[in-house]
Structure 1
Amino acid sequence: MAVTSYSPIPVSIPDAVTFKEAAALFQETGHPASANTLVRLARAKGYKTERVGRTDYISYSDLLEAHAEWVRSQDAD
């Protein structure tokens, strides 16, 4: 018998997080980025987001990539 898992977030993104959740996670890395900065980075990269109600979800993997590039560019200055 197969078990079906239920996600309370009805989005097709497998590792979905909100920008606010991602900002909190990046705060712990020592390289903080605000939710607004993450939105700007995601838009610049053209990453897919999904809106559920009034909340936007994005792939955490995509944000990790964009954040890493952003941190490298900040360190280069």
Structure 2
Amino acid sequence: MAMQTINPYPVASDMTELKEIKDQLMCTGHPVSLATIKSWIRDQDLYTERYRGGTYVSYSDILMAHREAVTGEF
């Protein structure tokens, strides 16, 4: 019987550096600062990784937090 394992962390290809996320969200009409992104990470206890001096987080998780902030759910 095959078992599906649960990976508690996002896939590596989804991990994006915070500055790049900030730059991409600038084009949405609802730009945010790095401080806001960091507060979402802290408030929602999102998984992050440090690599070569940068902090990486799941881009999908940040998009969900951004959607919640824009719609007033957060």
Secondary structure at the aligned position of 1:33 is classed as coil
1:4-37 Cα distance to aligned partner (Å, 9 max, x none): xxxxxxxx63311111111110110100011111
The aligned counterpart of 1:32 is 31
CA RMSD of aligned residues (A): 1.6
Matched ranges for 1:1-77 at <5 A: 13-73=12-72
Gaps in structure 1 of 5+ consecutive residues:
1-11
4+ residue runs over 4 A deviation: none
Secondary structure at the aligned position of 1:14 is classed as helix
Alignment-mate amino acid for residue 47 of structure 1: L
Q: Does the CA contact (< 8 Å) of 1:18 and 1:58 recur in 2? A: yes
C-alpha distance in 1, partners of 2:16/2:23?
11
C-alpha distance in 1, partners of 2:17/2:26?
14
C-alpha distance in 2, partners of 1:23/1:34?
7
TM-score when scaled to structure 1? 0.74
C-alpha distance in 1, partners of 2:12/2:32?
22
Aligned residues: 63
TM-score when scaled to structure 2? 0.76
Q: Does the CA contact (< 8 Å) of 1:13 and 1:58 recur in 2? A: no
